[in-house]
């Protein structure tokens, strides 16, 4: 009978070892999958963040070009047959809308990828972009366009938002993936 108990105990230890091996193997595969997913996500984030910064700079350059050409805009409005200031206002609104939409799409892509700290910074970018767009549009359709004070304040807000986004993005992409 003693030999039979030894066989039963050895069998139980063997079965326990098999279940332990299965559990540990599944755990290792799960951890490896989580790390690989985090690495993939970090790469996607890095691409989206870089694309956003490039699009952001391009969008602000477009808005700055609109304001920088204020003398040409005034001349065109004053020499236009019909209501040149109304046409100028329409043109400014359309060009600022186009620049805004392009940057907004890049911000939305970043918001899809997270994390929360970057999402919050992306919302600040969007708020700053709206402020710049609205400052460019401010007083459009009249001799007092552009509103230099509003534009300057909006650019300061945009610079601060870009810096905050860059800091958040740096933190999100530098963290090593962990299971």
Task: Report pLDDT digits (tens) over 91-106.
Answer: 889 999 999 999 999 9
Residue with tokens 């460019």: 136
- The rounded percent of the chain whose pLDDT value lies above 70 is 80
Task: Report pLDDT digits (tens) over 13-41.
Answer: 776 766 666 666 666 666 676 677 688 88
CA dist 101 and 59 (Å) reads 9
Task: Report pLDDT digits (tens) over 40-71.
Answer: 888 888 999 999 999 999 999 999 998 988 88
pTM for the model stands at 0.77
């Amino acid at each position: 009978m003693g030999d039979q108990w030894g066989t039963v105990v050895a069998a139980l230890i063997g079965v326990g070892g098999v279940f332990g091996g299965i559990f540990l193997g599944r755990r290792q595969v799960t951890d490896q999958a989580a790390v690989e997913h985090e690495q993939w996500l970090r790469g996607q984030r890095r691409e989206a963040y870089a694309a956003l910064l490039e699009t952001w700079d391009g969008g602000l350059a477009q808005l700055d070009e609109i304001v920088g050409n204020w003398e040409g805009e005034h001349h065109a409005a004053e020499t236009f047959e019909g209501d040149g200031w109304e046409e100028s206002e329409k043109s400014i609104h359309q060009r600022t809308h186009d620049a805004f939409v392009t940057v907004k799409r890049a911000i939305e892509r970043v918001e899809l990828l997270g994390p929360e700290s970057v999402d919050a910074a992306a919302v600040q970018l969007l708020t700053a972009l709206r402020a710049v767009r609205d400052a460019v549009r401010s007083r459009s359709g009249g001799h007092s366009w552009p509103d230099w004070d509003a534009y300057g304040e909006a650019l300061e807000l945009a610079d601060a938002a870009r810096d905050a986004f860059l800091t958040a993005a740096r933190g999100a992409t530098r963290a090593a993936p962990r299971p």
